[in-house]
């Protein structure tokens, strides 16, 4: 299988070839998205990008909701300009009682944001949480600090030093 990737920070390697996004979309049978959601990636896949894809292609997104323009995706699938899609994330989460219209599309597989729900991933998440707690309790920087939190927490007032 020929594997293409688009990542400005990852050159070619033994497993895949780095190409521009336009080439990747036009030549791929399956496009799998693995990006964070930020201003650069919001609606990274919109009507323009979907129009570049093969009508036989499948789009898979396990990134973050908002990376794919869901309205454009819905139109592309309904117009058969894209064969199918698999989504584990949505622009609005949790959806609640008002589900995305993509949920009812026969060529779209949707999951309720459970792509990371494996035993190994959940065990690693617990380990990381425990490591963070131990770091903070021993006045070391947390491994995954919250934005805006101090690098090293100060001891509570009255605590022994």
Indicate which residues carry an active-site annotation. Answer: 64, 93, 113
Contact between 57 and 81 under an 8 Å Cβ cutoff? The reply is: no
Q: What's the 3-state SS for the chain?
A: CCCEECCCCCCCCCCCEECCHHHHHHHCCEEEECCCCCCCCCCCECHHHHHHCCCCCEEEECCCCCCECHHHHHHHHHCCCCCEEEECCCCCCCCCCCCCHHHHCCCEEECCCCCCCCHHHHHHHHHHHHHHHHHHHCCCCCCCCCCCCCCCCCCCCCCCC
Maximum alpha-carbon separation in the chain: 68
């Amino acid at each position: 299988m020929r594997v293409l990737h688009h990542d400005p920070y990852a050159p070619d390697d033994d497993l895949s070839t780095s190409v521009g996004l336009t080439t990747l979309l036009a030549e791929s049978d399956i496009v799998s998205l693995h990006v964070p959601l930020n201003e650069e990636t919001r609606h990274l896949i919109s009507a323009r990008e979907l129009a570049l894809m093969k009508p036989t292609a499948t789009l898979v997104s396990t990134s973050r909701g908002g990376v794919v323009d869901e309205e454009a995706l819905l139109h592309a699938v309904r117009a058969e300009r894209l064969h199918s899609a698999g989504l584990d994330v949505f622009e609005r989460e949790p959806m609640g009682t008002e589900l995305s219209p993509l949920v009812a599309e026969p060529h779209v597989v949707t999951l309720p944001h459970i792509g990371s729900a494996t035993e190994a991933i959940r065990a690693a998440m617990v380990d990381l949480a425990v490591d963070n707690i131990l770091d903070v309790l021993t006045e070391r920087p947390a491994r995954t600090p919250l934005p805006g939190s101090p690098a090293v927490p100060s001891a509570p007032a009255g605590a022994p030093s």
